[in-house]
Amino acid sequence: MKTVSLGAARPSSVKFRMPTRDNLVPIRVDVEVDGQRYRDAFTWNPCDPDSEIISFAKRTAKDLKLPANFVPQMLHSIQGQLAEFRSYEGEEMQIREKIVPLKIDLRINNTVIRDQFLWDIGNLDSDPEEFARTLCDDLNITDPEVGPAIAVSIREQLYEIASQSVSAMREAARVSKKGRRAPEFASNSKAMNNSLDLFKYFGSKGSVVRKRKEWYLYEPVVDVVTNEEVGVTDATEEINSREGEH
């Protein structure tokens, strides 16, 4: 059984970036124009010029035969998310050797996958895309869209942790300038808070070893749903989405 070292946390301050090998931003687009809807999730290199975004939006609209007025909406969505990411660049964030639980709960076309696993956010050489490919191979998932969706989901959770760290560092600096003792790093991130719980449960030394009776909690679940079930689910999600907009 694999064990993951949980040595005492040694926080180190580094410039903001995704805590992964490749500094790729998770992007999620959900645009509706004149009753037509475009939804997608992918990663983007924040160093790419904005002209690439324009080319991507135009090419996507052409390939999917979407009206031209989709392009400015897509541009606005992508550029807004990249601007938020870039607003953290240059800021200090704290990387602790923490093991955090990540969860996957996705339906991609006819494939439903649910899983949870532990991730070392202190490992800046980690690769969500490689992990997703390996997971799909192990589970015999052949739909080529599932792997990228898993990787995006992982990156979204890691991005939340990283951005929360920057916010905490900003607050610590603000409080410190006022002459008060800066608070210790804390995060509103659900994943980060869960990581704190892991340390409380297992202690600051030793390894995380899943108890045999808990193995089922970490076992991935994959279901293949019929086209009829997909249609019902899509319709329900559409109704819920529209209700949430009002």
Q: Is residue 113 part of a domain?
A: yes
Q: Is residue 103 part of a domain?
A: yes
User: What values do phi and psi take at 60, rounded to 5?
Assistant: -65, -45
Q: Is residue 100 part of a domain?
A: yes
Grade residue 209 by pLDDT with cuts at 50, 70 and 90: very low
Q: For 165-190, what is each residue's pLDDT tens digit?
A: 898 888 877 787 766 554 444 444 55
Nearest to 85 by CA among 30, 52, 46: 46
Q: Which of 13-17, 70-74, 193-197 has the highest mean pLDDT?
A: 70-74
Percentage, residues of the chain above pLDDT 70? 70
**DSSP E strands: which ranges in 45-160?**
92-95, 99-108, 111-120
Total domains, the chain: 1
Nearest to 146 by CA among 134, 162, 158, 160: 134
Nearest to 184 by CA among 120, 94, 92, 99: 94
Q: Is residue 11 part of a domain?
A: no
Residue 41 contacts by C-beta under 8 Å, 6 or more apart in sequence? 26, 27, 28, 29, 148, 149, 152
User: At residue 231, does pLDDT exceed 70?
Assistant: no
Q: Is residue 65 part of a domain?
A: yes
Domain containing residue 52: 25-169+194-244
Other Cβ atoms within 10 Å of 65 Cβ, number: 7
User: At residue 10, does pLDDT exceed 70?
Assistant: no
User: At residue 198, does pLDDT exceed 50?
Assistant: no
What are the Cα distances from residue 44, in Å, to 24, 66, 128, 144? 5, 22, 14, 19
Percentage, residues of the chain above pLDDT 90? 52
Distance CA 51, CA 30 (A): 21
Q: Is residue 4 part of a domain?
A: no
Predicted pLDDT at 114: 94
What's the residue count for the chain?
A: 246
What is the average per-residue pLDDT within 127-145?
Answer: 95
CA distance between the termini of the chain: 49
Grade residue 223 by pLDDT with cuts at 50, 70 and 90: confident
pTM summary value: 0.76
Distance CA 33, CA 70 (A): 7
User: At residue 113, does pLDDT exceed 90?
Assistant: yes
Q: Is residue 189 part of a domain?
A: no
Predicted pLDDT at 29: 97
Q: Is residue 174 part of a domain?
A: no
Identity at 205, one-letter amino acid code: K
Of residues 193 and 108, the one with the higher pLDDT is 108
What is the average per-residue pLDDT within 73-95?
Answer: 93
Other Cβ atoms within 10 Å of 106 Cβ, number: 15
Residue 227 contacts by C-beta under 8 Å, 6 or more apart in sequence? 110
